[in-house]
Each structure stands twice: as C-alpha cells, then as structure tokens.
Amino acid sequence: MPQKPLRVVIAQMKHETNTFSPVPTPLSRFATGQAEPYRGDEVARAFKGTNSGVAAFLDLAEEAGAEIVTPIAASARPSGPVQSDAYQAMSDAICAAVSQGCDACLLDLHGAMVTEDHEDGEGTLLARIRQIAPDLPIAVALDMHTNLYPAMIANCTTLAGFQTYPHIDNYETAIRAGRPLFAMLRGEVKPTIAWGQKPMLPHVMCQGTGRFPNKDLQERTRQMEQEPDVLSATLFVGFPHADISQAGLSAVVVTDNNPEKAERYTQELLEFAWKHRAAWVYQIEPLEQSLARAASVTEGPVILLDHYDNAASGGTMDTMTVLGAILDAGLEDVAAYAIYDPRAVAEMIAAGIGNEVTVSLGGKMSMPSLGLQGQPRQVTGRVKLIHDGRYRNQGPASTGVLFDQGPTVVLDTGKVEIVVISRQNEPNDEQAFRALGIDPTRKKFLMLKSRVHFRAGFEAMAKEIIECAGTGVCTSDYSQLKFENVRRPIYPLDEM
Ligand SMILES: [Zn+2]
C-alpha cells in the first residue's frame, strides 16, 4: 500500500512592531507589489528560489513528497502595532488551513509582533493553532529581533532564529527550524526545547554580528549545532523599541531528547551575553561633530547613517534632520535613500521629468511618543526620474525577493540626489539605488536611513561609515523613550 502523502501548511506572518512608531499597520502593509498579501499559489510564485524562510519550507516539504497548502504569506515593514482586523485576517487564514486537517505546520514569523490587542502576536497565533490541533507538529522560523514569550515556546515543536545581522540567513534559518520537524515525523528525533532570557535591552547599533559580543555568541550557536544531538541553537538579541513586558535578549536550544544539554547550552549563551552587557551599550556622537568629520573625508563612498529614522525598525522615514544638515553643510555628490513622502512624490510626478520643483519635503508625520511634530523642509530641485518603486534584491540579503517602495521620484538638487518614496523601505541592497539609475559606488556620500542592515549591501564599498544622530522613533537615545510596560529592572534602563 502506498503511504498517503503528508499534508503540510506553510505560511508567513511577519512584523516587527515599534510601539513608539506612529506609522499605521493595516493589512495592505503586508502586501508587496499588489493590494493584498500573497495567498494560495501566489506564495510559491513569489518566494520559490529566493533567500527566504518560505522558500526553505517549500523545499523541505517538496523533498518529503508532501501535499503543500499555503494559505497566506504576509510581511510588512516594521511600524506601529498591527491593526486588529489585519491580525485577525492573517491568523484566520492560517487557522482555517490547519482546521481542514494537516500533519505539520511550518511558520515563517518574525517574533516581535505587537497587535492592538496582544503583546505577543506570534504566541497568540500559535496557542490558537494548538487549540485547533493539540498535537500538531509546528516548526517556527524567527528573526534575531524576536522578543520571546513563553506562549511561543509552549506551542511549537521546533524553532530557530537568524544567526546573522544584517540578516542574510533567512533560508538557512527555516531549514534549521524545519528539518528537525520532518526528522521527527519520520520518527528519527525527539525535539526538546529549553529557553531563557536576561533582563537586558541590547542596543540595536551594537547588535551586528560583525562585532563583539554578538559575533562570538552567534559563532557559538553554530558550534553547538555541530553536535549531532543539538537540533538548533539560537540567541535572540531582542527588539528594544517595543514597550512590552518581555522585550529583550533570550536564548533557545532544541536538542534531540537531551533536556539537560538544552538547558545547559541555553544558560551558557545567556551568561555570556549578560557578562558582557556593557558592550551592548551605544555611545552617541552629536550630529555637528559627525558632519564635520564627513566634510573632511576625501574619498568616497562615505556612508552617512541616519540611524534614528530606520524604516526597518519602525521609523517614519520622513524626518529631515540629517538630510537637512547635509544640505546646510553644502556637501556635494550625495545620494540620499530615502524620504517617505507620498504627497511630494505625487506633486513631482505631476510636475514631470526634467522640470524644476520646490516641494515641502518630509516631516508629514508627527511622533507623539517623542512629543515631536513633523518638520518638513522646502527643497528645490529637478525631477530626475520617476519609477514604479519595485525592484528585486541582488543579495546577499533577501536575494531575489521583490521590494516595493511605491511610486518613487529622484529629486536632484544639483548637489544631492534625494530618493523620495511612497512606502517605507530600508536600503539593504545596492538595487535600492541601481534600480533608479544611481551607481552607489560612484557617489562621494550615501545618506542611508538604516542602522545595521545597510551593511549587507553597502559595507564592502564604504570607505567610511559615519553614524549621524538625527530624529526619529528608532532613536538611539533610550532616554527619549518613555518605557512603561517593559519588566523592570532591565539593563541599561536601570543600574544592575
Ligand atoms: Zn531583525
């Protein structure tokens, strides 16, 4: 008798929520290149062959000869809490697919989703799935910026998070989460999870895996995974711009039926991170000082990093502090990515290519969490290019994945080429410029609204990286943020 094929549900629901961000998060934000998130056959069409968690899950399921069901793939750029109806629609789609019966569920999640109703969007979803199917094997792939909640651990079977930041191991992470699940279905392993956390909020600017201590920690997780009974080892740095009880650093180790080792390795990772907690604290340089340094550099490209307003951490991407200082300083041969301003884009499209315009640029969004009003700036320049805003990453980050920054205009002031976009989008790939006819390697300065992800696409070409303290809801100055819900004491908000 031939065996009935496995029925496997594969879905994606990704959002990193900045609870300080005024940027709204409706369902449409989870769509790329179309009005709604991908559903059904669209999912494989969008992701097959790309560097993504969904692609890895699809490959694993195919390898197992499974029947694959893909109810939804939804991924939004970081922003404020996910609107209730959007969360409901996405979790309903996944739960409906599970309700129809399946042998396994593979989920590509972020791990820091806060909704209007839940601090823990992922744990809430997983608990609901387990209510429908109490014994269902579930594998979860997560971002390194997961803020881990007990419900996430209690309601999954295997789990793995990124080991790189900038994140370039999306595919491998899902393989690390999914492969043990299929091994379990074949009766080869028995996954056992241990996890823990430390009361600390590592600074995002200090989280890159090119630097101590995260470099060492991630190397150690890979080393642990070399052991045959360690199925996955993950150190989550956490996402600090979320004022929720469990924000911060955590670790998870999944072993093959070795709970003692899972626990011991989890504690080892946590102790190392805690021991070096001072190394996760960021020192801020005043903006005037940064720009004075920039003016004295002779060879480009020099990256001017507007790290207080990073779209991939929930920034409005429309604050003008750093770009304004660049214009005031008269820096030349600059390309700036990017200012989010759909209204200015529409005005410039109406003006037409080649024509001079004066627009009130950026500063359209207020930031109540910081007590700040938006501050636009009058900018005059020539409409150099109009573009639909879609491009695919060349890699190494999200290779082949479609990005959608909405209708886009390049505004050329003569000294600065400003990319103005209609959907927030972090520059983590050369294509962010190249798709618009700008060769970033030939520019003296690149202003990037980013913090760490730009390194994937731009670090190798950069002669120097100058971090510029501007304005925004992913401020690098924690003292500007009012934390009310995170558990206390927590380092470095409290002396510990
Ligand atoms: Zn992340």
Residue with tokens 């959907």: 423
Q: What percent of the chain has pLDDT over 70?
A: 100
Q: Which of 280, 295, 319 is the last residue of a domain?
A: 280
Q: Is the pLDDT of residue 2 over 90?
A: no
d(CA 3, CA 309): 54
d(CA 473, CA 491): 20
CA of 313 to the centre of ligand 1 (A): 8
Q: What is the pLDDT of residue 379?
A: 98
Summarised one tens digit per residue, pLDDT across range 313-322 is 999 999 999 9
CA 456 to chain centre: 13
Q: Is the pLDDT of residue 84 over 70?
A: yes
Are residue 259 and residue 296 in the same domain, yes or no?
no
CA of 201 to the centre of ligand 1 (A): 14
Strand duo 416-421 + 7-14: pairing: unpaired
Going by C-alpha positions, the residue among 273, 227, 216, 277 that lies closest to residue 253 is: 227
Q: What is the CA radius of gyration of the chain?
A: 22
CA of 230 to the centre of ligand 1 (A): 24
Answer yes or no: is 327 within a domain.
yes
CA of 167 to the centre of ligand 1 (A): 7
Q: Is the pLDDT of residue 352 over 90?
A: yes
How many separate domains does the chain show?
Answer: 2
Q: 2 vs 475, which has greater pLDDT?
A: 475
- Residue 454 domain boundaries: 287-476
CA of 144 to the centre of ligand 1 (A): 5
CA of 159 to the centre of ligand 1 (A): 16
Q: What percent of the chain has pLDDT over 90?
A: 99
Average confidence (pLDDT) over 474-487: 97
The pTM is what?
0.96
CA of 79 to the centre of ligand 1 (A): 13
Q: What is the pLDDT of residue 3?
A: 76
CA of 458 to the centre of ligand 1 (A): 17
Answer yes or no: is 2 within a domain.
no
Average confidence (pLDDT) over 453-468: 97
CA of 21 to the centre of ligand 1 (A): 16
Summarised one tens digit per residue, pLDDT across range 94-135 is 999 999 999 999 999 999 999 999 999 999 999 999 999 999
Q: What is the pLDDT of residue 44?
A: 98
CA of 114 to the centre of ligand 1 (A): 15
Q: What is the pLDDT of residue 391?
A: 97
CA of 347 to the centre of ligand 1 (A): 34
Are residue 312 and residue 391 in the same domain, yes or no?
yes
Are residue 373 and residue 397 in the same domain, yes or no?
yes
- For residue 115, list its beta bridge partners: 82
Answer yes or no: is 172 within a domain.
yes
Answer yes or no: is 211 within a domain.
yes
Are residue 234 and residue 362 in the same domain, yes or no?
no
Answer yes or no: is 1 within a domain.
no
d(CA 81, CA 78): 9
CA of 238 to the centre of ligand 1 (A): 8
CA of 110 to the centre of ligand 1 (A): 8
Write phi, then psi, for 367 (nearest 5 degrees).
Answer: -125, 80
Summarised one tens digit per residue, pLDDT across range 32-83 is 999 999 999 999 999 999 999 999 999 999 999 999 999 999 999 999 999 9
DSSP calls for 342-392: HHHHHHHHHH-TT-EEEEEES--S-BGGGTB----EEEEEEEEEEE--EEE
Are residue 349 and residue 262 in the same domain, yes or no?
no
Are residue 357 and residue 446 in the same domain, yes or no?
yes
Summarised one tens digit per residue, pLDDT across range 173-208 is 999 999 999 999 999 999 999 999 999 999 999 999
CA of 376 to the centre of ligand 1 (A): 29
CA of 340 to the centre of ligand 1 (A): 21
Q: What is the pLDDT of residue 493?
A: 97
Q: Which of 263, 280, 297 is the last residue of a domain?
A: 280
Q: What is the pLDDT of residue 4?
A: 86
Q: Is the pLDDT of residue 294 over 70?
A: yes
First-to-last CA distance in the chain?
A: 64
Are residue 293 and residue 235 in the same domain, yes or no?
no
CA of 166 to the centre of ligand 1 (A): 8
DSSP-derived letter for residue 23 is -
Answer yes or no: is 496 within a domain.
no
Q: What is the pLDDT of residue 274?
A: 98
Q: What is the largest CA-CA distance in the chain?
A: 77
CA of 145 to the centre of ligand 1 (A): 4
CA of 87 to the centre of ligand 1 (A): 20
CA of 148 to the centre of ligand 1 (A): 13
Q: Write the CATH number for 50.
A: 3.40.50.2300
Answer yes or no: is 488 within a domain.
no
Residue with tokens 């007990």: 150
Are residue 269 and residue 335 in the same domain, yes or no?
no
Q: Is the pLDDT of residue 140 over 60?
A: yes
d(CA 427, CA 339): 12
Mean pLDDT across the chain? 97
Summarised one tens digit per residue, pLDDT across range 90-102 is 999 999 999 999 9
Are residue 334 and residue 464 in the same domain, yes or no?
yes
Are residue 256 and residue 306 in the same domain, yes or no?
no
CA of 140 to the centre of ligand 1 (A): 15
Q: What is the pLDDT of residue 1?
A: 54
Are residue 80 and residue 183 in the same domain, yes or no?
yes
Answer yes or no: is 398 within a domain.
yes
Summarised one tens digit per residue, pLDDT across range 152-164 is 999 999 999 999 9
Average confidence (pLDDT) over 234-254: 98
CA of 100 to the centre of ligand 1 (A): 32
Write phi, then psi, for 449 (nearest 5 degrees).
Answer: -90, 90
Q: Which of 254, 280, 306 is the last residue of a domain?
A: 280
Tokens for 71, please give them: 């109810």
Are residue 276 and residue 292 in the same domain, yes or no?
no
Write phi, then psi, for 264 (nearest 5 degrees).
Answer: -65, -45
CA of 462 to the centre of ligand 1 (A): 22
